[in-house]
Amino acid sequence: MGRASKCHTVEEQRLRRKATSKAYSVAHKPQISERKRRAYQNSRSRKGTPYINKQTAVQSLPTMLIALASQPLPTTQLFLEASQSADNLDESEIAAFNCDPPYVATILPCNEAYIAKMVDVMSGRCARHERDMVVEMESMSSQTVERALIDELGQWEDLATFLQTYEADPCHVAMARNRLWWRARNVKHLFDEALKSRARQSRQ
How confident is the model over 74-125, as pLDDT tens digits? 999 999 999 999 899 988 888 889 999 998 877 777 789 999 999 999 999 9
**Average pLDDT for 123-134:** 95
How confident is the model over 173-197, as pLDDT tens digits? 999 999 999 999 999 999 999 999 8
Whether the model pTM is above 0.85: no
Using alpha carbons, select from 138, 120, 136 the residue that is nearest to residue 83. 120
Domain residue limits, the chain: 10-203
148 compared with 27, residue with greater pLDDT: 148
Whether the CB-CB separation of 174 and 115 falls below 8 Å is answered with yes
CA distances from 122 to 134, 135, 167, 182, 201 (A): 18, 20, 21, 10, 37
**b/e code 178-195 from CB counts within 10 Å (16+ = b):** bbbbbbbbbbbbbbbbbe
Q: Round to whole Å and give the CA distance between 171 and 169.
A: 6
14 compared with 182, residue with greater pLDDT: 182
Assign 49 a pLDDT band (cuts: 50, 70, 90): very low
The one-letter code for the residue type at 14 is R
